[in-house]
Structure 1
Amino acid sequence: MIKYIEKYWIIIALVFIIFAFIKPSICFLILGLVFLIFSIESYKFNKYIYLKGVKCSAKILTYESDYEGHKTPIIEFKIASGEIISEKPYFYASTDFSKIRTYKNKINQNVNILYDPKNPKRFVIQSEEEFSYTVLMLFFFISIASIAIAICDLFGVININY
Structure 2
Amino acid sequence: MSSSKKDNLYEIIFFVVFVFFMFYKLIVCFPLLGSFMIFKVVDYFLFLKYIQKNGIPHVGEIVSYENDRGYKTPVIAFETTEQHIEQTPQLHVSSDLDKFRSFKKNIGKTVSILYDPKSPEKFILINKGESSYFGLILVFLVGVVFIIVGLGVLLGYINTAK
TM-score, structure 1 normalization: 0.86
Aligned counterpart, 1:155: 155
SS of the aligned residue for 1:55 comes to strand
* Aligned-partner Cα distance in 2 for 1:5–1:151: 25
Residue 43 of structure 1: CA displacement?
Answer: 0.5
How far 1:123 sits from its partner (Å)? 0.1
The DSSP-based 3-state class of the residue aligned with 1:94 is: coil
Structure 1 unaligned regions, length at least 5: none
Q: Please list every run of 5 or more consecutive structure 2 residues that lacks an aligned counterpart in the other structure.
A: none
Structure 2 partner of 1:123: 123
- TM-score, reference length from structure 2: 0.86
Question: What fraction of aligned residue pairs are identical, expressed as a percent?
Answer: 34
Deviation at 1:87, TM superposition (A): 1.2
CA distance in 2, matches of 1:65, 1:158: 39
Aligned residues: 160
C-alpha distance in structure 2 between counterparts of 1:125 and 1:161, whole Å:
48
SS in 1 for 2:120: strand
Distance in 1 of aligned mates of 2:147 and 2:119: 33
Runs of 4+ displaced beyond 2 Å: 1-25, 159-162
Q: Which secondary structure state, in structure 1, belongs to the residue aligned with residue 48 of structure 2?
A: helix
- Alignment match, 2:73: 72
Give distance in 2, aligned partners of 1:161 and 1:43: 38
Of stretches 138-147 and 113-122 in structure 1, the one that deviates more from structure 2 is 138-147
2: distance between equivalents of 1:25 and 1:96?
A: 30
1:97 paired with 2:97, answer yes
Tell me the SS of whatever aligns to 2:123.
strand
Structure 2 partner of 1:53: 55
Indicate the SS of the match to 1:86. strand
Q: Greater shift after overlay, 123-132 or 50-59? A: 50-59
Q: How does 1:104-143 map to 2 (within 5 A)?
A: 104-143=104-143
3-state SS in 1 of match to 2:57: strand
Q: Deviations over 1:106-140 (max 9, x none)?
A: 10001100000000000000000000000000111
Distance verdict in 2 for CA 1:10–1:119, change over 3 Å: closer
- Which stretch has the larger CA shift, 5-14 or 137-146? 5-14
Change (3 A) 1:125 1:153: same
RMSD after superposition: 2.3
